[in-house]
Structure 1
Amino acid sequence: MANETNKTVKVRLVRGLRGAQSRHRLSVRALGLSKLNDVRELKDSPQVRGLINKVHYLVKVEE
Structure 2
Amino acid sequence: MAKTTIKVTQTGSPIGRHKTQRATLVGMGLNKMHRTVELVDTPSTRGMIRKVNHLVQVEEAK
Unaligned runs of 5+ in 2: none
Task: Tell me the TM-score normalized by structure 1.
Answer: 0.90
**Residue 48 of structure 1 aligns with which residue?**
45
**Residue 32 of structure 1 aligns with which residue?**
29
Q: For residues 62 and 19 of structure 1, what CA distance do their matches in structure 2 show?
A: 26
Unaligned runs of 5+ in 1: none
* Offset of residue 62 of structure 1: 1.0
* Offset of residue 5 of structure 1: 3.2
RMSD value over aligned CA atoms? Answer: 0.8
Q: For residues 47 and 27 of structure 2, what CA distance do their matches in structure 1 show?
A: 11
Give per-residue Cα distances to partners, 1:16-38, cap 9 Å, x unaligned: 11011100000011010011000
Structure 1 stretches of 4+ moved >3 Å: none
* Offset of residue 56 of structure 1: 0.3
- Identical pairs, percent: 37
- Please tell me the residue identity of whatever aligns with 1:17: P
Residue-pair matches, total: 60
